Amino acid sequence: MSTERLGLSAHRARFGEWRASRPFLGGVLLALGGITVAFVLIFSMGITFARASPSAFALVAATATFLCGVFALVEPDLAGLLGVVGVVSVVVSLVGTPLGAVLGVVLSILGGNLCYAWQPEAES
């Protein structure tokens, strides 16, 4: 079956327009970085966290980083602010994060910088 028959070309065009109107790569990298940090925390420490442990605090910060990435995709007008908040929260999560979360921190910092630098296209 061809893509025109299934209507996929129209969906791809709409997705392309949606993606161009927001910081897509920055939001995705920010969200993936938050997920990576959270998974490293959960799998290295297990599910049992002490109430006030640095790992529990780092998990909250990793969740905030993930949410900043998602909200940057949903609300592109706030992308600059969300990029800064995402980078700050992932740096704060370094307090309780094992060394294995370096990839997540790097992804989050790159995504936050891309969100901060993103500018909407000028309408002609």
What is the pLDDT, as a whole number, of residue 110?
Answer: 96
Round the average pLDDT of the chain to a whole number and report it: 85
Residue 46 has pLDDT above 70, yes or no: no
Gap between the Cα atoms of 66 and 16, Å rounded:
23
pTM: 0.85
Mean pLDDT within 5-13: 76
Cα–Cα nearest to 54, from 39, 63, 41, 64: 41
